[in-house]
Amino acid sequence: MLPIVRVLYSGLASATRSSRGALHTASVVRCKAEAEATDEKSSEATEGEGDGDQVSSGPDPKDRTKNIPVETSMRYLKSAAYKQTYGEDFVWTQYRRNHKGMFAPRKTRKTCIRQGRIATGNPCPICRDEYLVLDYRNTELLEQFISPHSGDVLSYSQTGLCQKTHFRLMVAVQQARDSGFLTYDVPFREYDYNEYYGQNEKQKA
């Protein structure tokens, strides 16, 4: 009799976790089991703790309200933890977008972070790692998003950045160029110097 009750109870207890509707029947069975067997009380206590609302301890991994200084981010990019996570790749190389169907939507999502919290299951390469801080001084990070051939900022279709982060990246790159943290090539312009020298000679004469 006792093993049967135990099996029945454990089955119902697991059902309770998935559906609230079975809670009543499970508690009825629990009362019966308590009356019939006193030695089940120890297991009852542990099961009861499992049934209670689970309060997760530790910080929320999706919380993005913490303000991480740029210096920390710059040290992070040189650290062993960064090497272990990304290896020799760029931060966006291993990232894959989630989308339904065969083809990705033309634009990436508007933002990954809403109200100081990650609001998506697949945040973009910069939003997912809170230690990647976009700043004009963090050139090591910015250079990963600049094409070595054209010198332009890579498209969000290639890097997978959300629209908001991509805009912040563009701003940071422009600030870095303005303040001399990043170098860039100015377009080569050919002058016909004969025109200028010709004018000078005419003026002299």
Residues found near Zn ion in the complex (CB under 5 A) = 112, 124, 127, 162, 165
CB of 176 to Zn ion, least distance (A): 20
- Tokens 């600030």, residue located: 175
Nearer to Zn ion, 16 or 144 (CB): 144
Nearer to Zn ion, 95 or 181 (CB): 95
Q: Which two tokens stand for residue 145?
A: 């998003």
Nearer to Zn ion, 127 or 182 (CB): 127
CB of 37 to Zn ion, least distance (A): 55
Q: Which two tokens stand for residue 151?
A: 């010198």
CB of 175 to Zn ion, least distance (A): 19
Nearer to Zn ion, 124 or 172 (CB): 124
Check residue 187 and report its DSSP letter.
P
Backbone angles phi, psi at 99, to 5 degrees: -155, 155
Q: Which two tokens stand for residue 177?
A: 């160029």
CB contact at 8 A, 51 and 16 = yes
CB of 28 to Zn ion, least distance (A): 49
CA 74 to chain centre: 18
**Do strands 113-114 and 117-118 pair parallel, antiparallel, or not at all (unpaired)?**
antiparallel
CB of 34 to Zn ion, least distance (A): 52
Nearer to Zn ion, 41 or 97 (CB): 97
Q: Angle 47-51-52 (CA atoms, 0-180°, nearest 5)?
A: 120
